Copies of this chain bind each other. A is one copy, B any other.
Amino acid sequence: MNAIQIKNVSKQYKDVMALDDVSFSFEYGKIYGFLGRNGAGKSTLINIIANRIFADSGEILIDNDLAKENMNVHEKIFCMSEVDLYDTSLKIKDHFKWIEKFYNSFNKEKAFEIAEKFNLDTNKRFKALSKGYQSIFKLTVALAIDVPYVIFDEPVLGLDANHRELFYNLLLKDYEESENTIIIATHLIEEVANIIEEVVLIDKGKVLLQSNVDSLLEMGYSVSGPASEVDAYCIDKNVIGDDELGNLKIAYIIGKKTQLSKESHLSFANMNLQKLFVKLTEKGGN
């Protein structure tokens, strides 16, 4: 099976059960949104997959091989991480040289090209970069590595809107060309809603749901129009959130659409993935 298979993985930190008997798979060739609240266990799982920390129990298989301390597997996967594992006093261009020595699949020329697109000054030392540009350096490395499984952990932290758009475009272009597996852990859910095909949502160390994005969005819908009409429509519905703009309102509803009268000024649209996420994980923070 071409996939990252997570089998009964548990990990405890002192009194916190970070991962509690977690089992699911990231299948080869898809783009995943790996979602969850702060502290839900996302980064812990990513670090276990990346062999940076070890699970208390359970195992990870990559294309049916055990991932733990296995060099064959190491060549198939790359995890961009929030954690700074880089020598902060080294210049970016020198980082690229070192990464080329360690990763056969790293394309240094491509890295310099991507850096140029982001206006990343490769003569600067890592520690001289702003938070946004530290993220850009890390996602540049991840985009320049051609392996079957690439995991991005909060890739756009601190990036401005233009750079976020550039990143999503580069990612989709790579995906169309390579068909590698891309896994994006992010809190900016609405921004990736149009990019990802599958969602894995973890909450308090457990998988809360795994679903195709389209099926997930079919759980509900949004209705918009004059605020008073929207309110009247919503009276007997399961409303999970709303937004207002002047006297217009949009409400997000779980359930099936009902027929509108001919005189109605309301219109239906798709569910908002971020609103759905917020509702599903309410009181799930810590």
Q: Determine whether A237 belongs to the interface, using a CB cutoff of 8 Å to chain B.
A: no
Bound-complex Cα distance A164 to B245 (A): 19
Bound-complex Cα distance A161 to B131 (A): 20
Stretch at the interface among A3-11, A139-147, A277-285: A277-285
Question: For chain A, what secondary structure do more than half of its interface residues adopt (helix, strand, loop), or is it mixed?
Answer: loop
Stretch at the interface among A67-75, A176-184, A187-195, A227-235: A187-195
B160 touches A119 (CB 8 A): no
Report chain B residues within 8 Å CB of A37: 160, 162-163
Q: Determine whether A118 belongs to the interface, using a CB cutoff of 8 Å to chain B.
A: yes
Q: Determine whether A148 belongs to the interface, using a CB cutoff of 8 Å to chain B.
A: no
Interface residues of A in 252-286 (CB under 8 A from B): 267, 270, 274, 277-278, 281-282, 284-286
Q: Determine whether A109 belongs to the interface, using a CB cutoff of 8 Å to chain B.
A: no
Bound-complex Cα distance A118 to B158 (A): 21
B82 touches A131 (CB 8 A): yes
Bound-complex Cα distance A282 to B267 (A): 34
Q: Determine whether A154 belongs to the interface, using a CB cutoff of 8 Å to chain B.
A: yes
Q: Determine whether A99 belongs to the interface, using a CB cutoff of 8 Å to chain B.
A: no
A161 touches B278 (CB 8 A): yes
Q: Determine whether A152 belongs to the interface, using a CB cutoff of 8 Å to chain B.
A: no
Q: Determine whether A130 belongs to the interface, using a CB cutoff of 8 Å to chain B.
A: yes
Given A39-B130, A130-B39, also A285-B158 (CB < 8 A)? no
Given A39-B130, A267-B267, also A282-B194 (CB < 8 A)? no
Given A119-B285, A194-B243, A194-B245, also A157-B160 (CB < 8 A)? no
Between A and B, 20 residue pairs with Cβ closer than 8 Å are: A37-B160, A38-B132, A38-B160, A39-B130, A82-B131, A119-B285, A119-B286, A131-B157, A154-B158, A160-B187, A160-B281, A160-B285, A161-B187, A161-B189, A161-B278, A162-B281, A164-B187, A188-B188, A190-B190, A267-B267
